[in-house]
Amino acid sequence: MGFLRSVSRFQREERGAAALLFAGASVPLMLILVATTDYVRASNYRAAMQTAVDSAAITLARSPTSLTDAQLQARGRQVFDAMVKQAGGYATATFTAARTGQSISVNATGVVQSSFGSFLKPEIGISAQAVVAAGKRKIELSLALDNTGSMGQSNKIVELKKAVVNLLDTMQKLNDAEPGSVKVALVPFTTQVKLGKSYANTAWVRFHDNGAAGTAAEKAAWNGCIMDRDQPQNVSDTDPTGSAWSRWHPIAYQGRSPRNVDWNGPCNSLQQVTPLTADLKSTGAGSLRAAVSAMQANGNTNVSIGVAWGLKPLMNRAPFSGAAAPGDNDVIKAMIVLTDGDNTEDRWSGSQSAIDARTRSTCDMAKDAVKNAAPSAAADSYVRLYTIRVIQGNRSLLQDCAGNGGGYSEVSQASQLNDVFQGIVNQILRVRLTS
């Protein structure tokens, strides 16, 4: 019995020793956990501070050059403080903004309190810097928007209109500060695009397959729609003017081609192309906003023609003028292509794979258009191509189509379109940080 009591007492003492060992080991483990938590918090705050500094720098870069140093500091601090507050704030924060030549530098510092006060390190310092070019690059943006019948489902055309209006509101603020700094074009598309009857007498509109001139009656009856150019011009940006009628743009009407195009259906309701305009505010007849408001969903899908005509307002050649010359590095050229479905019909085929191949070639052409027109142009001046998939459509096709600093987005609900458009706007407006 005495032996057993001794063993039992030994076991109790062993458990106590183990407890002491565990307690001793848990202290450094807890310190590591606390330090890790503080490091993660500080990293998150530092990232938020960098975002606030970048936003302030971009705002100042687009502010009037007449601002005094004090006004520059005050405006930048206002933007910075608003974003810091949104991120949860810091114990203290300093902010400085200064203009040096053609650059604006912004610096900020802050302090994040550690989790256990003075138990470890009471405070963790964070900082962020940004330098931006103070020059104001102008913006030319083309919106190639699917107006096919399926856009009438799931509230898609309604939400698209809202998103475009909000985009115009954002861009108009820049024009209010710097008149003419932003121009926007609208290119609604189905299997065709609509130029309008006023183009009936232009040299590059073709009424007959053999190049014969259209009669007065044919011109009067034309509803203004254009279909795919002859191959291979359909996937090129060659100038349509000149004596080679195969380069002209053929009109669209019922029975016009192997693929019937009903001009009393989709063409009748399709909105006309609106060339680049800096008037983003007017709502009267003929205005950009009126065209957006009047968009209707009708017809089949040909993304190729949407991309081809979405490019044209940006290239400063027939049928449109008013764009900066290709390669002008003082201008950001961008195109947004939006669709909610697969390719279903073009001038030649109802085969999705065949039309998809033409769409890929057209997207490649659009991305290379500036380089081909101005071989010495900097890559930053190429057309930035953004694509948006609305609920349905060929994801890989649209992903491949995007490029030149643009990108691909998709939404599962039409109500998400506004966030996507605003995200693209923010990318376009972002001044390239130089450090």
Instruction: Say if residue 50 is in the same domain as residue 194.
Output: no
Of 45 and 308, the structure prediction assigns the larger pLDDT to 308
Is residue 186 one of the residues assigned to a domain?
yes
Give the residue, 227 or 133, on which the prediction is more confident.
227
Mean pLDDT is lowest, of 69-73, 85-89, 418-422, for 85-89
Query: Domain boundary at 105, 133, 161, which?
Result: 133
Which range among 226-240, 270-284, 308-322 shows the weakest confidence by mean pLDDT? 226-240
Asked whether residue 114 carries a pLDDT value surpassing 90, the answer given is: no
- Across residues 105-131, what is the average pLDDT? 78
Domain boundary among 133, 157, 182: 133
Highest averaged pLDDT of the listed ranges 46-60, 70-84, 253-267, 408-422: 408-422
Domain span at residue 244? 138-434
Q: pLDDT-derived band of residue 222, with 50, 70 and 90 as boundaries? A: confident
Rounded mean pLDDT, 275-297? 96
Mean pLDDT of 282-305: 95
Q: Is residue 5 part of a domain?
A: no
Do 25 and 124 share a domain, yes or no? yes
DSSP for 383-410?
Answer: PEEEEEEESSS-HHHHHHH-BTT--EEE
Which tokens hold the place of 66?
A: 């007449």
Read off the DSSP letter of residue 179. Answer: T
Q: Which of 382, 182, 168, 346 is nearest to 260 (CA)?
A: 346
Are 354 and 210 found together in one domain? yes
Identify which of 10-19, 62-71, 208-217, 292-301 has the greatest average pLDDT: 292-301
pLDDT tens per residue across span 307-339: 999 999 999 888 898 999 999 988 999 999 999
pTM summary value: 0.73
H-helix segments, 88-177: 156-177
Whether the pLDDT of residue 287 is over 80: the answer is: yes
Q: Is residue 192 part of a domain?
A: yes
pLDDT score at 341 = 87
* Distance in angstroms (rounded) separating the CA atoms of residues 67 and 343: 51
* Domain match, 123 and 144 both: no
The answer to whether position 2 is within a domain reads no
Query: What pLDDT, on the 0 to 100 scale, is given for residue 390?
Result: 98
Same domain, 128 and 145: no
Same domain, 413 and 378: yes
Q: Which percentage of the chain shows pLDDT scores above 70? A: 82
Query: Does 275 lie in the same domain as 417?
Result: yes
* 164 shares a domain with 111: no
CA distances to 191, 265, 267, 269, 393 from 297, rounded to whole Å, are 12, 11, 11, 8, 16
CATH code for the domain of 338: 3.40.50.410
The share of the chain scoring above pLDDT 90, in percent, equals 48
Q: Please, what is the average pLDDT of the chain?
A: 84
- In this structure, are 302 and 216 located in the same domain? yes
Question: How many domains is the chain built from?
Answer: 2
In a domain, 6, yes or no: no
Structure confidence by residue, pLDDT tens digits, 138-170: 999 999 999 999 999 999 999 999 999 999 999
Tell me if 369 is assigned to some domain.
yes
| Tens digits of residue pLDDT in 333-361 | 999 999 998 999 888 888 899 999 999 99
pLDDT at residue 121, rounded to an integer: 60
Indicate whether 7 pLDDT > 50. no
- Do 59 and 198 have their domain in common? no
Q: Which tokens belong to 294?
A: 């009047």
205-206 vs 249-250, strand pairing mode: parallel
C-alpha to C-alpha distance for 305 and 313, rounded to whole angstroms: 13
**Domain match, 195 and 178 both:** yes
CA 337, 339, 344, 346 torsion: positive or negative? negative
Looking at the domain assignment, is residue 321 inside a domain? yes
Is 8 a domain residue?
Answer: no
Last residue of a domain, one of 109, 133, 157: 133
Note whether 345 and 300 are within 8 A (CB): yes
Same domain, 230 and 256: yes
